[in-house]
Amino acid sequence: MSEEKEIEKTETKEAATNLEPAVVDEKAGKIAKPAFTPKNTARQVPAACAACGKNFPKKMWYYRNANFFCNVQCYKKKIEDDKKKAAKESEKTA
């Protein structure tokens, strides 16, 4: 029993040395969560169309359903493709 506690203490100390931003609680002997985690405020810039895979020129894109598309036609094409895939999967399971 005491050997297990010693092993746990050494593991927590080793983990504490590896993680610099984490706060170590000496009384409990455990690693606490960081006091502050900065939020990523960088603007999301898409690289390519979700439907056809074309690269975007400058700032011309169409955003729907958490994806970026070239235009409305690509968006509609993606929806149709997703419906076809769902139909095929439902046929396989049935």
**pLDDT by residue (tens digit) across 12-41?**
555 545 545 555 555 555 666 667 777 777
Q: Tokens 């080793």 identify what position?
A: 14
Q: Tokens 């810039």 identify what position?
A: 45
What pLDDT shows up at residue 19? 47
For the chain, the first-to-last Cα distance in angstroms comes to 54
Whether the predicted model's global pTM rises above the 0.95 cut: no
CB 55 within 8 A of CB 47: yes
